[in-house]
A and B are shown apart, each in its own frame.
Chain A
Amino acid sequence: MIRVTQSQQSGIALQSIATARARLQQAQQVAMSGQRVAKPSDDPAAAARNRLLGELGNRAASHRTTAQYGRSRLESAEQALGEAGNVLVRARQLATAMANDTMSASERAAAAAEVSQLRRAMVDLVNTEHGQEHVFAAIATDSPPYTDGTGFTYDVDTYTAVREVEVGTTQRLEIGSSGSMAFAQRAADPNSVDVIASLALLEQNLLANDRDAIQSDIDTVTRAFDQVLGERVRTGVRLEQLQRADEVAQQSQSVYARLSSELVDADAAEAFSRLSLAEYTMQAAVTVASRVLGPSLLNM
């Protein structure tokens, strides 16, 4: 028969109470924080996996921000292209009206003054700014892409592409409108038109009261309108793509947040039932210890 000594009894009682108290503390921490994995040692594999999910979630949030910033920039360009289209519609209306034989030289001179205003408005639209940069400038975005004296300030044949940004793990989208494609005459495209030059030519032909030349300008201005409209359509497509990318990133963010929650968050019902169990265990350990340590022959 095994001997039971005083220090053995008190040692077992102390150990039981210490173990119960440790379990109670752990259950309290989980119940209070709502987290099953509050630190890496709680579940190293889950903590490592949660970091990777955190990275993916943060990346998705970043993709959303990028898509939203990109949309804001594209909306500025899209608005400018819309207004440019309106300018060209008005220019075409004037050209069509002034190509009529009944128009006098003074009427054409008055129309030339309006076309001059339209041309200056078009220059302003080509030099549209968003934030600290010019949206139609392919390079040197801190400077206007068009000046009245020298025309385009960059090589429109070389810089036709627009800026791309990362909006998905493997997806990059264009977030700009090309000034070259919208407003410039490019060597690679014989049908392209220098939009501002076409307005200048119309103004010049109106002042010259040259009906045939004005008739010819109607076609040029129409092509300029189509050219601007084409870039506006492409810009609209880019806006839609960015919208979709934003939605995909938002969904991804939700998925990663849910997966992360499944990994590290505690189930409330389970956490509180464990807390209750730990409290009962603690009470039992203390009660049993007081009973075990009490009686001996000294009490007889």
Chain B
Amino acid sequence: MSTLSGILNIGRSTLAAHQGAIGVVSGNTANADTVGYARREVQIRSIVGGGVGVAAIARRSATFLEQRVLGANARFAAHDAKASGLAAVENALSDGEAGIGARLDALFASMRTLSVDPSDLQLRADVLARGNAVASGFSSAADTLARERSSADQAIGLEVERVNQLTGAIARANAAVGAAAPGSLSRAEHIDERERLVHELAGLVEIKTLAGDDESLTVLLQGGPTLVQQNVASTLRATPDAALGGLLRVDLVDPSGAPLDVSTTLRGGSLGGRLELRDDTLTDLASALDTLAFDLATAFNAVHAAGYGTDGATGRDFFATPATVAGAAQSMGLAAGLEDNPAWLATASDAASAVGGNANLLALVDVADARIALGGTATAGQAIASIIGNVGRETQSARDIATDASGQLEQTRALYQSQVGVSVDEELIDLTRFERAYQAGARIIETVDRMYEAVLSL
């Protein structure tokens, strides 16, 4: 049979347990919209000798869904970064009055007009101005591509620094989790903070996490290398690499100091997206532009050099001869001296008709229909259309995948939140429930008090 003081203890334990429970519910309610906050659940157990106590404060978790959120976040961030970078390039390469295609059309049109009266100095000057416009169109587009690559490179450097800050913070959070008592509010708070850091990290690089029995978290980079284990973090290192034209190479440096080049394997997260944009997409576009500029200049020069200017001289180039395919677009320009000497424009096909002949001009106009590009399979105009189509497809694909990934991310986050998030309705019901229990505990103490009074009045 319970003694009065035993019953009093039961009342006291009821008050204490439910006061704690109301504290937890209050914390949940206050953090209903806090990013990274997972609902705490009070586990109330009966204790020996009657009464109740708080056995543990459990932090809700959903490991499988969390992995999906991390994956969706990395996928979205990668394609969003790529789509943003491509938007500027798309404008530079798009079709329009100032596009390379329209400029090339204008060059051929000016040559057709000149072919009517090849000795007209104004028409000759117009052809040279149009040729210059084609060259500047190529170099301007190449500049834009180079600028976007450089911009992506700068962002890569900044994001590498942020990854290192985050991995260091996750390692410290791991240590803090280990130091806090299991089932304590303090441990749950450290886990919340660590989760927030991990989610931000997943936006930068694609990662996978493994939870230990001691609630420590191991963070793996996609493909397996370890980023964080217990309280030790590896770092990413960005160093200028001559093989990349002075752009940054990204190495993973483990705690022993051994570097592993991950520039070509990092593809998820915004860092991966920017690496793919810089090293694959923009490089391919720049290469296509360089190849077309080289092919066009070479084809024009071959025909032009065979013709004669009105001064009777032959063997001159129209465009400055590109030394190599790489950089041909950026360095494109009229041949030295040509712009100041319209007479050098080789319109005639022989010395006798140097003044008045237009046969070589017609041969230059024929370059428009010659399959000089894409390995001799396409005209210059078709190659430009192909570049426009390619940049459109790359941008559209990145944008569509980013939109799709954004939807998936929100859906997965919603599922995850349905597991670990806070429902205010639920908390208010719990609040009422715990309040009632607290009132019941108080009634027990009040009853015992009256019982004591009854006993003392005997």
Tell me, yes or no, whether A291 is within 8 Å of chain B by CB.
no
Q: Given A5-B423, A40-B94, A47-B94, are A55 and B101 also a contact pair (CB < 8 Å)?
A: yes
Tell me the interface secondary structure of chain B in the complex.
Answer: helix
Tell me, yes or no, whether A188 is within 8 Å of chain B by CB.
no
In the complex, the chain B residue whose C-beta lies closest to that of A295 is: B425
| Chain B residues with CB below 8 A from A58, complex form | 102, 105-106, 109
Q: Given A3-B418, A11-B410, A59-B105, are A141 and B33 also a contact pair (CB < 8 Å)?
A: no
What is the 8 Å Cβ interface bit string for chain A, positions 1-21, against chain B (1 contact, 0 not)? 011111110111001000000
What is the 8 Å Cβ interface bit string for chain B, positions 385-406, against chain A (1 contact, 0 not)? 1101111110110010000001
What is the 8 Å Cβ interface bit string for chain B, positions 220-251, against chain A (1 contact, 0 not)? 00000000000000000000000000000000
Tell me, yes or no, whether A36 is within 8 Å of chain B by CB.
no
What is the 8 Å Cβ interface bit string for chain A, positions 59-70, against chain B (1 contact, 0 not)? 101110110011
User: Which parts of A147-194 form the interface with B (CB within 8 Å)?
Assistant: 163-166, 169, 172, 175
In the complex, the chain A residue whose C-beta lies closest to that of B390 is: A44
Q: Given A59-B108, A66-B115, A133-B117, are A49 and B385 also a contact pair (CB < 8 Å)?
A: yes
Q: Given A2-B418, A41-B396, A166-B115, are A298 and B109 also a contact pair (CB < 8 Å)?
A: no
User: Which parts of B9-36 form the interface with A (CB within 8 Å)?
Assistant: 32-33, 35
In the complex, the chain A residue whose C-beta lies closest to that of B431 is: A297
What is the 8 Å Cβ interface bit string for chain B, positions 91-127, against chain A (1 contact, 0 not)? 1011100010110011011001101111111000000
| Chain B residues with CB below 8 A from A244, complex form | none
B418 touches A62 (CB 8 A): no
Tell me, yes or no, whether A137 is within 8 Å of chain B by CB.
yes
| Chain A residues with CB below 8 A from B425, complex form | 296-297
User: Which parts of A129-157 form the interface with B (CB within 8 Å)?
Assistant: 130-133, 137-143
Q: Looking at the assembled complex, report how far the CB atom of A84 sits from the nearest CB atom of chain B, in whole angstroms.
A: 21
A41 touches B115 (CB 8 A): no
CA distance A226 to B424 in the complex (A): 107
| Chain B residues with CB below 8 A from A138, complex form | 353, 356
Question: Which of B93, B109, B407, B428 lies in contact with A62, CB distance below 8 A?
Answer: B109
Tell me, yes or no, whether B365 is within 8 Å of chain A by CB.
yes
The contact size tier of chain B is 35 or more
Tell me, yes or no, whether B218 is within 8 Å of chain A by CB.
no
Tell me, yes or no, whether A113 is within 8 Å of chain B by CB.
no
Q: Given A6-B33, A7-B33, A69-B117, are A51 and B101 also a contact pair (CB < 8 Å)?
A: yes
Tell me, yes or no, whether A43 is within 8 Å of chain B by CB.
yes
Tell me, yes or no, whether B413 is within 8 Å of chain A by CB.
yes
B119 touches A133 (CB 8 A): yes
Tell me, yes or no, whether B440 is within 8 Å of chain A by CB.
no
Tell me, yes or no, whether A32 is within 8 Å of chain B by CB.
no
Question: Which of A47, A52, A61, A132 lies in contact with B121, CB distance below 8 A?
Answer: A132
Q: Looking at the assembled complex, report how far the CB atom of A33 sits from the nearest CB atom of chain B, in whole angstroms.
A: 12
Q: Given A44-B392, A58-B102, A297-B429, are A7 and B120 also a contact pair (CB < 8 Å)?
A: no
Question: Which of B94, B117, B424 lies in contact with A132, CB distance below 8 A?
Answer: B117
Tell me, yes or no, whether B422 is within 8 Å of chain A by CB.
yes
Q: Looking at the assembled complex, report how far the CB atom of A204 sits from the nearest CB atom of chain B, in whole angstroms.
A: 33
Tell me, yes or no, whether B146 is within 8 Å of chain A by CB.
no
A296 touches B428 (CB 8 A): yes
| Chain A residues with CB below 8 A from B396, complex form | 40-42, 44
Tell me, yes or no, whether A119 is within 8 Å of chain B by CB.
no
CA distance A28 to B76 in the complex (A): 26
Q: Looking at the assembled complex, report how far the CB atom of A53 sits from the nearest CB atom of chain B, in whole angstroms.
A: 9
Tell me, yes or no, whether A54 is within 8 Å of chain B by CB.
yes
Question: Which of B118, B365, B382 lies in contact with A52, CB distance below 8 A?
Answer: B382
B120 touches A132 (CB 8 A): yes
CA distance A48 to B33 in the complex (A): 47
Q: Looking at the assembled complex, report how far the CB atom of A167 sits from the nearest CB atom of chain B, in whole angstroms.
A: 8
| Chain A residues with CB below 8 A from B84, complex form | none
A40 touches B352 (CB 8 A): no
B112 touches A8 (CB 8 A): no
Tell me, yes or no, whether B41 is within 8 Å of chain A by CB.
no
| Chain A residues with CB below 8 A from B121, complex form | 132
Q: Given A51-B388, A133-B356, are A39 and B112 also a contact pair (CB < 8 Å)?
A: no
In the complex, the chain A residue whose C-beta lies closest to that of B95 is: A51
| Chain B residues with CB below 8 A from A169, complex form | 369
What is the 8 Å Cβ interface bit string for chain A, positions 77-98, against chain B (1 contact, 0 not)? 0000000000000000000000
| Chain A residues with CB below 8 A from B118, complex form | 141
**Can you list 19 A-B contacts (CB < 8 A)?**
A3-B421, A5-B422, A6-B422, A6-B423, A40-B94, A41-B86, A47-B392, A51-B101, A58-B102, A58-B106, A62-B108, A62-B113, A65-B109, A70-B116, A132-B120, A141-B118, A141-B355, A141-B356, A297-B425
Further contacts, 5 of them, CB under 8 A, given A7-B35, A140-B355, A141-B355: A40-B93, A41-B399, A44-B392, A59-B368, A166-B115
List the 9 closest pairs (A to B, CB-CB), nearest first.
Answer: A40-B392, A5-B421, A44-B392, A48-B389, A141-B356, A62-B109, A58-B105, A41-B395, A8-B417
